[in-house]
Amino acid sequence: MHELVQDYYGHTLQSSADLKTSACCDASALPAALKPVLGRIHPEVLARYYGCGLVSPPLLEGCRVLDLGCGSGRDVYALAQLVGEHGEVVGVDMTPEQLAVARRHEDYHREAFGFARSNVRFLEGYIERLGELGLEDASFDVIVSNCVINLCPDKAAVLREVFRLLRQGGEFYFSDVYADRRVPAAVRDDPVLYGECLGGALYWQDFLALARAAGFADPRLVEDRPLAVTDPALVAKLGNIRFFSATWRLFRVDGLDSAGEDYGQAVVYRGTLPGEPLRLALDKRHAFDAGRVVPVSGNTWRMLHDSRLRSHFDFIGSFERHYGPFAGEGPAMPFDSTAPAADADNPAPPLAQAPTAAPMTLGSAARKSCC
């Protein structure tokens, strides 16, 4: 599959217009505040970028960021502006033709950004084998990827490498394509469907299992949308499979439970994150109004407390007492909470009652007491 992908993105596609579906786009529209960031990127880099949107979490100033499957470098150069001159962005791709475009314009972008030195690097290699590129353990604050993991034959290896490279409190923030069932071999082996990010799409349940096995105990869905495939020839091959573009964030945070648990904790968003003075969304199901006390699970508390988001929140509570599962997070209790109804023909026997003890005088109590 590596050779197929290299040929498709190195030779078959010459611009985004050559794509036959919108599957390689992420789930989000580009925020207005980020449009000037793309306006400073070289036209050739933009033309050879096969996707849309920008996968970028907040608070990147000074961070060290890794972009998996960077292609022509569009997202690397966008992120380079967001991390600033004292941050760094490393891009990895396996397609020499794409990397040649990215490297050709490194000086152009350094000058456009007004930096004294370049804050980007581009490495050629496979994202399943990042250890071969000399990248050290726990050396990145944030890792991003824009519709690339589905193109990798060994997705479990990618997630393991990402976990290895993230610092404690760091996160993997990425978009990709997922299916509502396991994709059959006929779809998986089709060169066009694979190149268009559909043939290699993971069944969403399998993705969650792989993420947890790699060490990410509580994957958080940020946003998603269904993908429409309109090409009649592709529709005929895909049958009833439904595909979705989704953005996830996976935190490397110690002590996370396998599901949301209730410890009686709460947080208050201070409204201090740049561009988010009124409300901050952590993921699709968790958003925080500035100044409001919001009860949270232990996992959400840790994701906010043990990451770069910490200084923007006040934290209430501890982990001293557990109250059971946090409502709305994780599976419900499997046990019936009420006794089964009695059968009229076979009534349940009455509960045995403890014998009533005889009244005790002070003397008898003293005689029966053993300590």
Residue 27: the pLDDT is 45
Query: Which phi and psi (to 5°) does residue 243 adopt?
Result: -120, 150
**265 burial via Cβ count (<10 Å: 0-12, 13-18, 19+):** buried
Whole-number Cα distances in Å, 325 to 209, 230, 299: 20, 43, 11
CA distance 275 to 45: 27
Res. 349 pLDDT band, cuts 50 70 90: low
Domains of the chain: 2-251 (3.40.50.150), 265-316 (3.40.5.100)
Of 20-29, 69-78, 99-108, 305-314, the one with minimum mean pLDDT is 20-29
User: Could you read off the pLDDT of 111-138 as tens digits, one per residue?
Assistant: 999 999 999 999 999 999 999 999 999 9
First to last CA, the chain: 77
CA distance 225 to 202: 15
Q: Each residue of 187-198: pLDDT tens digit?
A: 999 998 998 889
- pLDDT one-digit tens code per residue, 206-229: 999 999 999 999 999 999 999 988
